[in-house]
Chain A
Amino acid sequence: MSIETPPAAPGPIELSADRLSADRPPPENPAAPHAIDVQGLGVRYNLRLTRKNTLRTTFINAFRRKEGDRTFWALKDVTFKLVHGESLAVIGPNGAGKSTLLQALAGIITPSAGTIDVRGHMSSLLTLGAGFDQELSGRDNILLAGAFMGIEHAEMTRRLNSIIDFADIGEFIDAPIKTYSSGMRARLGFSIATSVDPDILLLDEVLATGDQVFRAKSKARVLELARGAKAIVLVTHDMGWVTEFCNRAMLLEKGQVVAEGSPEEIVGIHQEHSERTKAEQAAKLAAKAPGTG
């Protein structure tokens, strides 16, 4: 399992491979040890477009042209390098840009600034049950999901049985998804998403799936995947996972990297920060209370 083996998948990742050609200097050494190299990554959202727009609101907005307060940097100047064997935990308060970072790494969002260089076959577990087609059978949905993820048909049919086994939905596999319970849907989604064998694994707190039994099973599966992967980026609020699992951690706040280091150290800083925020909020509430009361 060297990263030089071209993966079978004609995936979104493959499609960009040709961009490495011609006018650009080729990478000095394709087998360079880094798995992910992020330089000055910034992701900007245009709030004017993010709202579900109608023409009317756009016309109105066009008259009040104020660019400044209408864009928002979800991530700013994020730089890090992940080498093989590392597993990086990204922690931070809600809205810090953790999920945006994963989306950018997965290639779902294009960076507004900076670059991301990925070496290896990447899989994200962001995809649980995304885009199931309600009318199609479970089996058809597995194949469709595979095609969306860019996994070759032959590969996907090979995986089909193990996916169905793991999801444990029995006869229902040939019934339309709309007849599934939400638990079955979640199990199928998890089973598809984890059927991959990636070099780089992106994880976004997907571990709470299904009932008790399945949850234990799914945790084991994630651990197994994580062991097999060469590099991991994990986004979580569960500090236990961070210290147990990762050998590096990064604290994101308001889209920027605040601290980076060993998991214990970063978890400590994070807890300190959240204590402080909590205290500040309590103080704010306390300050407000007499005024209103």
Chain B
Amino acid sequence: MQMTQEVPASYRNTALRPRGIGLITEAAREIWSRRRLVGYLVRADIKKKGADTLLGNLWWLVDPLLQMLVYLILVSVIFARPQPDYGLFIFAAILPWKWFTSSVNDAITSVTGQERLIKQIAFPKIILPTASVGTGIINFSFGLIVLGALLVLVFSHRISVFLVWIPVIAAVQLVFTIAVAYVLSGVNVFFRDVGNISRHLLRLWFYLSPALYGAATVEKLAEQYPSVGALAKLNPFYILFTAYRDVIYGPEVAAAGSTGPVPPDVAALAALGGVSLLLMLVAVWFFKRLEPAFAKVL
């Protein structure tokens, strides 16, 4: 009775549909077996994003720099912000934020954008937002090159051993990003409003997170309004931005006698990682539950 393993791959019976945890393992299998498709989609995306521009994929390097400059001018000139090395201070937050928003924005339209394919070929749809997240990773890697260059050329006094924490923080962010990407890409099939709303919500989220300002501002707020402060600290990007900034720049208000980077708040990161992992599993399940309806609704 061990013959079940021998069943040729092309056998299919619709009566046997997994549910619950089965959906999650199925999704994992789908992504693994179609990893080459994910790779193709990522490569195609990168090729496309570089096409039709003079600088091509150099934009991936220039873009975060320009964004940093804009905020640098805005904040330091208009608001006369007296933060040393403010460029690096905000770059440490802008870089991961760009990664998050570009992944999520791509993912939102990833399924709806392949309407024709979905109606004509049977393939695991979870590949599509996965590819968006994959493109985001490449995007972030380019950004890290810029970060490296900035550190070496301009802020060399901030270079520290704590930079090795970046992959760990990025991993936590990746898991969180995947969760958001799966949920929104699925919901957008049914409600195209998601794309419209998300743009504004993401912007609001950015300003509510300590990117242009630091964790100290949140602390101050927490002293005044404890409940608001507690809420602000539950923001995943409060934890992430603070962690990135700790290891790249250092605390906003340097402790007496020492400047420069410090290790991140590992407990907070671990907690966020755990919650994100759980969210991701729920998101995968959610996406797989919606998936059968895609071909009918699109």
A residues contacting B by CB (< 8 A) are 3-7, 9-22, 24, 26-27, 30, 45-46, 49-50, 52-55, 58, 103, 106-111, 115-122, 124, 126-127, 130-131, 133, 135-136, 140, 143-144, 147-150, 153, 176, 199
Contact = CB atoms under 8 A, between A and B. Distances in A.
A110 B292 contact: yes
Given A12-B122, A26-B4, A140-B44, A18 B11 contact: no
B153 interface: no
Interface string B111-131: 000101111111110000000
Contacts of A127: 120-121
Nearest to B112: A52
Given A20-B16, A108-B122, A199-B10, 15 more contacts: A12-B122, A12-B124, A17-B10, A20-B13, A27-B11, A54-B193, A107-B12, A110-B14, A118-B10, A120-B10, A126-B121, A130-B119, A135-B44, A136-B47, A150-B34
A57 to B, nearest CB: 9
Contacts of A199: 10
B29 A15 contact: yes
B192 interface: yes
The interface size bin for chain B is 35 or more
A106 B117 CA distance: 13
A49 B10 contact: no
A147 B39 CA distance: 10
A130 B298 CA distance: 14
Contact of B4 (A6, A22, A140): A22
B191 A118 contact: no
A108 B295 CA distance: 7
A5 B7 CA distance: 10
Given A127-B120, A136-B44, A149-B123, A30 B13 contact: no
B7 A30 contact: yes
11 contacts: A13-B11, A15-B33, A17-B8, A17-B10, A22-B4, A30-B8, A108-B121, A118-B10, A122-B10, A136-B44, A144-B41
Contacts of A120: 10-11
A111 B8 contact: no
A7 to B, nearest CB: 5
Contact of B13 (A55, A106, A117, A149): A117
B200 interface: no
The 8 closest A-B pairs by CB, nearest first: A131-B117, A14-B9, A107-B122, A19-B16, A110-B292, A147-B37, A121-B10, A115-B15
Nearest to A10: B33
Nearest to A24: B16
Which of B4, B6, B33, B293: most chain A CB closer than 10 A? B4
Nearest to B50: A135
B9 A103 contact: no
B113 to A, nearest CB: 9
A103 B4 CA distance: 27
A7 B12 CA distance: 13
Contacts of A17: 7-12
A149 B292 CA distance: 17
Contacts of B41: 144
A7 B15 contact: no
B256 interface: no
B295 A103 contact: yes
A120 to B, nearest CB: 6
Nearest to A106: B122
A149 B36 CA distance: 12
A152 B191 CA distance: 35
Interface in B1-48: 1, 3-18, 26, 29-30, 33-34, 36-37, 40-41, 44, 47-48
Nearest to A37: B13
Contacts of A144: 37, 40-41, 44
Contact of A7 (B8, B47, B116, B297): B8
